[in-house]
């Protein structure tokens, strides 16, 4: 089976969609990413990443109901697909394997984990 590779930002967007579990839409993903990473995230970058993830079959979307607070517009919600979950699992497994291969003295423990 051919592996689909994700860029770092696509991976973060996909992980955040999984974290938000059914409540993921552009703004909520951008806000959660900013909160959790401390990075400034543009909404257009999130939408572009979601588009690419959709093309790769890693997310699906549906339109929620129209709301008065949005001027009658509907939100597009995103869910992680089985392919997306599989990709995240492979990424996690690869990263964990590589971390476990690092000799203890080669990479001192980061200060934020102490």
pLDDT in tens, 52-97: 999 999 999 998 877 777 777 888 999 999 999 999 999 999 999 9
Average pLDDT over every residue of 8-32: 95
Q: Using an 8 Å Cβ cutoff, are 29 and 14 in contact?
A: no
Average pLDDT over every residue of 16-40: 95
The per-residue pLDDT for 4 is 72
In the numeric block, which tokens belong to residue 42?
């543009």
| Per-residue confidence band for 28, with pLDDT thresholds at 50, 70 and 90 | very high
Q: What is the residue-averaged pLDDT of the chain? A: 89
Q: pTM here?
A: 0.84
The per-residue pLDDT for 9 is 96
The per-residue pLDDT for 74 is 83
| Per-residue confidence band for 5, with pLDDT thresholds at 50, 70 and 90 | confident
- The Cα 44–Cα 50 span in angstroms is 10
In the numeric block, which tokens belong to residue 74?
């509907």
Query: Which of these CATH numbers, 1.10.10.10, 3.40.309.10, 3.30.70.2190, 1.10.1060.10, describes 8-102?
Result: 1.10.10.10
Query: Would you call 42 helix, strand, or coil by DSSP?
Result: coil
Q: What are the C-alpha distances in Å from 114 to residues 4, 58, 95, 98? A: 35, 35, 21, 21
Between these two residues, 106 and 100, which has the higher pLDDT value?
100
The secondary structure of residue 23, as a DSSP letter, is: -
DSSP letter for each residue of 64-105: EEE-GGGTT-EEEEEEE-HHHHHHHHHHHHHHHHHHHHS-TT
CA-wise closest residue to 72 among 59, 84, 62, 63: 63
The secondary structure of residue 112, as a DSSP letter, is: G
């Amino acid at each position: 089976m051919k592996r689909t590779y994700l860029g770092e930002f696509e991976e973060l967007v996909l992980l955040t969609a999984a974290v938000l579990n059914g409540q993921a839409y552009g703004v909520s993903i951008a806000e959660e990413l900013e909160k959790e990473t401390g990075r400034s995230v543009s909404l257009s970058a999130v939408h572009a990443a979601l588009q690419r993830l959709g093309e790769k079959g890693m997310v699906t979307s549906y339109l929620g109901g129209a709301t008065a607070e949005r001027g009658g517009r509907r939100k597009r919600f995103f869910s992680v697909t089985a392919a997306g979950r599989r990709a995240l699992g492979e990424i996690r497994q690869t990263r964990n394997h590589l971390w476990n291969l690092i000799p203890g003295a080669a990479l001192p423990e980061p200060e934020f984990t102490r």
